[in-house]
Structure 1
Amino acid sequence: MDGLLTALAEHLGRPLPVAYADAVRAVPRHGFLPERVWPRDGAGGYAALDRAADPGRWTRAAYRDATLVTRFTDGLPSSAASMPSMVVRTLLLAGPAPGHRVLELGTGTGFSAGLLAALVGDDHVTTVELDPALAARAGANLKAAGRSPLVVTGDAADGWAPGAPYDRVVATFSVDRVPPAWLRQARPGGRIVTPWTSPWCSYGTLALDVGPGGTARGRFHAFGSFMPMRGAAAPPQGGGGTAGPARADGATTSTGLSPWAVAGGDLDAEFHIGLGVPGAAFAWDTGGEHAHTRLHLSDTATPSWAAVDYDGRHADRFTVTQAGPRALWDEVAAAYGRWEKLGRPGVERYRMAVAADGTQTVAVVAAVGDGTGEVPVRTLPACR
């Protein structure tokens, strides 16, 4: 436990506030993990770790500041125990105080709900989980830890109206727009905190301060990469395109913009592209079947696609093939060019404003004339 607290302090760059350190001590993480977990294997995948077979390694993993996958669905991670530092940073950003009514969305193992209960009181926390089996397991975990928040089985996108209004609404998964129910159920003066995602890039955490009449304003913070919201309305995720051959009907041109510039791990650039090119996803193909290296672009809503090929020799020119109703590569290149003209802003310079009609507008703080101002990047229409 002391090792985890030390790791959390190192990650934050300062000791945890006393209330948070006390909450971490009072809610032992190992009590919220299943007998089998999957930590990263160091080679881009996951390795199963069983408590019965190797209790020492399992316990060390439980108190390491690392994400542990707790379930796979169709061969992909579908539930996880998030990095404790990410959980704590999210809660610090939300700033729950004793007596606040808190709605948590995405119970998972129950660990975060347990921390919230320790911070504000058990009877002030409601946590919503889509999966009945996970909700039941989380409830058992919480009870064993001596915590008793209300655990509800339901679609987190709908919030939980019976307990509204809430002082804090905290999501443990990422979204690409703030569900209207969350805005309706947060009281004026309250705060909503949620990780952010797009099909291009899952990164960033949004903190919204709720105003009167359903309005809200807030900004993004440069941390957090979480699994997406599950359910019928869950968005497809970044990097989710399928690499494949360029079809014969594709138009072929060339570009001097490196595919690594837009999809090579620069999270500030990728965050902007995710906002500026809605529905675009990418996947890398290094198998060599179609090119030495290929960046494949796809659209989540149309049959549009693009392929950007590196021949292994010329790093100043790349072949582009694209087809469909959208010229995806042209859109991505234009978004990247705009990001550069805006001064290559970091995630923390992006703001969101929610109007009374539910419209959600993301803007970036950039140079405007002789000063600075908010330049709109994307507007999301109202959704009821």
Structure 2
Amino acid sequence: MGVERRMDALVERLSAAGWLTQSRVRTALRDVPRHAFVPPVAWTGEGDRVDRATAPESWLDLVYQDDAIITQLDDGQTEVTAGNGRFTSSCSAPSTVVSLLELLDAEVGHRVLDVGTGTGWTAALLSRMVGAENVTSVEIDPSVSTQAAENLKEVGLSPRLVVGDGAEGWAEEAPFDRVHASCGVSHVPHAWVRQTRPGGVIVTPYAPGFASGHELRLVVMPDGTAVGRFTGYASYMMMRSHRQPSWPAPGDGGAESTTPIDPRTIGYAPAGADLAMGASLPGVNARGYHEDGTYVLRLWSADAWATATYQPGQRVHQVRMSGDRNLWEEAARAYFWWVGHGSPARDRFGLTAASGTETVWLDVPTNAIRPAV
């Protein structure tokens, strides 16, 4: 099976699954060969790495699956062809790329800021959609940007590539009609809003730290704010300056108490509950993990932490905490607020971004969710 047939099969799968509905995105996907943006040794983060030199057909099979291809570990400190580490850059999965591009709703002639160049594949797709002369792509890692430039040259496209902090946008080319991010953010950088003309659109993966990641689509208003809704799930590597802080590893310290609430109720909560809890607890991070048959939910902020542990057969569950706040009780209160409001799904929540502030709301912008403290 050649490249064209593999591409046709990928397009058919994405279309059948409902990811790919817009003809201009479909055309760009067909016109820009993904394999030109994948390194010679391809790896999804699971299974074996596939070397193009020794297994070209298997390499192409992997490239045209709907999987992210890992292209960097530990910000380049670990060799991706042989090592293991934190995933810090990738060629994103086609379904996630297509989903954000369709939300962007970009037209020929729109000026687009692309944040997180990565391999350059998304910048290439945007160039095909709006014209390469209208695309500015910002990448914080010089070596990643250099490789992206080589990849783009191979397919004959030349958007403007900039090495810099994507959170600052690129004022020299503003105003933009569209801002597209290929990395997660914990909050919407106001530079993006400031550099987008009224009526322009910002599309980004949004991951404030409380479990789920979300697709977010905003429209910039004449008053300099941006307003929009959460549209679906999004799991992206975080912008470097927005990464979740490390768990403080308290060991066996902290005050102990118990709770009748199963910690999995909070840790397994759906996306709507995550948005409600995250909005109520800004700056709080939440992650759960399984270990030896138990489930531990971790909550932490700059000044406090808490763990809640589920153990099979227990009628009450251990809580440990430290700091000036009871993060477990705050999270539980926010969860039951969500239940009390009818357990609204993700698409009923939205966000308003203004200079220095950000507000998550339910149903309408005037119905803001207020922080617990």
SS class of match (1:321):
strand
**Are residue 323 (structure 1) and residue 331 (structure 2) matched?**
no
Structure 1 residue 343: deviation in Å?
A: 1.3
| 1:274 maps onto 2:288 in alignment | no
Match of 1:120 in 2: 130
- Measure how far apart 1:101 and its partner are: 0.6
| Secondary structure of residue in 2 paired with 1:269 | helix
**Residue 368 of structure 2 aligns with which residue?**
376
Q: Hey, what's the Cα distance between the residues in 2 that align with 1:127 and 1:283?
A: 32
The answer for unaligned runs of 5 or more in structure 1 is: 366-371, 380-384
Displacement of 1:209 in angstroms is 0.7
Alpha carbon RMSD of aligned pairs, Å? 2.1
Q: 2:8 aligns with which of 2, 9, 15?
A: 2
CA distance in 1, matches of 2:142, 2:41: 19
SS of residue paired to 1:375: coil
| Residue 253 (structure 1) aligned with residue 245 (structure 2) | no
Is the aligned partner of 1:310 residue 2:313? no
Query: Equivalent residue for 1:105?
Result: 115
Following superposition, the deviation at residue 378 of structure 1 comes to 4.6
- Residue 373 of structure 1: how far off its partner (Å): 7.9
How many equivalent residue pairs? 356
Counterpart code for 1:235:
R
Shift of 1:40: 4.3
The residue number in structure 1 matching 2:52 is 51
Please name the residue that 1:38 is paired with.
43
What SS does the aligned partner of 2:188 have? Answer: coil
Residue of structure 1 equivalent to 2:81: none
1:167-214 CA distance string (max 9 Å, x none) = 101111111211111111101111111110022224111111111131
Does the residue aligned with 2:367 lie in a helix, a strand or coil? strand
Amino acid at match of 2:357: T
Q: Is 2:44 the partner of 1:24?
A: no
For 2:49 and 2:277, the matched residues in 1 are separated by 35
| Conserved? CA contact 1:296–1:305, under 8 Å | no
**What secondary structure does 1:236 align onto?**
coil
Is 1:207 aligned to 2:194, yes or no?
no
1:361 Cα deviation from its structure 2 partner: 1.5
Identity of aligned residues (%): 38
Query: 2:187, 2:208 within 8 Å by CA — same for their partners in 1?
Result: no
Report the Cα offset of residue 9 of structure 1. 0.5
| Aligned counterparts of 1:51 and 1:270: Cα–Cα separation in 2 | 41
Change (3 A) 1:204 1:325: same
In structure 1, how many angstroms separate the alpha carbons of the residues matched to 2:287 and 2:190? 31
Normalized against structure 2, the TM-score is what? Answer: 0.89
CA 61–336 in structure 1, closer or farther in 2 if over 3 Å, else same: same
Matches within 5 A, 1:137-286: 137-230=147-240, 233-236=241-244, 241=247, 245-247=251-253, 250-264=254-268, 266-286=270-290
TM-score normalised to the size of structure 1?
A: 0.87
Contact 2:107 2:130 in 1 (8 A): yes
Q: Give how far 1:11 is off.
A: 2.5
CA shift, 1:83, in A, is 1.2
| Preserved CA contact (<8 Å) 2:227 2:352 | yes
* Secondary structure of 1:53 counterpart: coil
Alignment partner, residue 368 of structure 1 = none
Residue 295 of structure 1 corresponds to 296
Distance 1:277 1:52 in 2: 50
